[in-house]
């Protein structure tokens, strides 16, 4: 009886131990043409065992790379793709660069700052008034989600003035009352909950009793 502690480590567990054994068996075949035929069959089996590989662009290339990796790059066959270089597996990926943009008020996010800056570029007119009014009330709603107890309109107006780089003043918009914003948010949540409950109830089908 074989125990996992005494078995060889699975190099790619997604394919299982049987695929690893088949690749080992292929490596023991002396005739290269036969080895190549066996390798093509193994690749087909690997594709069936790991259907997620179909989501990649050239999935056949990826399967052949996995085949060589499991064989520890010792399988000599006629492959439609070149054997990957072993040094590529040891290279570390490049370090991801973090965004250098500092967010002054994190509870608003960078997108709202960009939209405020864009709003200042609009020509004077009803569209600019409507956009600034919408953004101002969106800021207040975002602040309420972060801190509901200490919100006040003067604070929101100061934030809008700072984020717009002193371009949008308090006389250019009208903030909704805190109670109205909370009531609309609560109503929207209730509507969403009722819709989910209705969908759940309509999909429910009672079982027929058997006698």
Per-residue pLDDT of the chain (211 residues; tens, 9 = 90+): 666 677 778 888 888 889 999 999 999 999 999 999 999 999 999 988 888 777 777 888 889 999 999 998 999 999 999 888 877 777 777 887 776 666 677 777 788 888 888 888 888 888 888 988 888 888 888 888 777 666 788 888 888 888 888 888 888 888 888 778 777 777 776 766 666 565 555 555 555 555 4
Domain residues of the chain, as ranges?
A: 13-87, 110-181
Backbone angles phi, psi at 18, to 5 degrees: -65, -40
Q: At what angle do helices 16-27 and 59-70 cross, to 10 degrees?
A: 70
Q: What is the pLDDT of residue 211?
A: 47
User: Residue 53: which residues within 8 A CB-CB, separation 6 or more?
Assistant: 46, 47, 59, 62, 63
Q: What is the pLDDT of residue 31?
A: 92
CA distance 161 to 4: 66
Q: How far apart are the first and last CA of the chain?
A: 50
Tokens of 86: 């072993």
- Report the pLDDT value the prediction gives residue 206, as an integer from 0 to 100: 54
* pLDDT the model gives residue 202: 59
The Cα 60–Cα 50 span in angstroms is 12
């Amino acid at each position: 009886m074989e125990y996992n502690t005494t078995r060889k480590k699975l190099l790619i567990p997604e394919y299982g131990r049987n695929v690893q054994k088949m690749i080992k068996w292929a490596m023991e075949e002396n005739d290269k043409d036969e080895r190549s035929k066996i390798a093509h069959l193994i690749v087909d089996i690997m594709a069936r065992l790991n259907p997620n590989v179909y989501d990649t662009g050239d999935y056949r290339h990826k399967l052949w790379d996995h085949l060589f990796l499991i064989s520890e790059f010792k399988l000599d066959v006629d492959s439609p793709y070149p054997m990957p270089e072993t040094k590529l597996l040891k290279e570390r990926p490049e370090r991801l660069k973090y965004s250098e943009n500092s967010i002054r008020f994190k509870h608003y996010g960078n997108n709202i700052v960009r939209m405020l800056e864009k709003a200042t570029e609009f020509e004077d007119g009803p569209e600019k008034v409507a956009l600034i009014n919408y953004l101002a009330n969106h800021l207040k709603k975002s602040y309420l989600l972060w801190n509901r107890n200490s919100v006040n309109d003067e604070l929101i107006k100061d934030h809008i003035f700072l984020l717009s780089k002193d371009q949008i003043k308090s006389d250019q918009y009208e903030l909704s009352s805190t109670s109205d914003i909370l009531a609309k948010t609560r109503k929207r949540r209730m509507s969403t909950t009722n819709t989910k409950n209705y969908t759940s109830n309509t999909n429910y089908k009672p079982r027929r009793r058997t006698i």
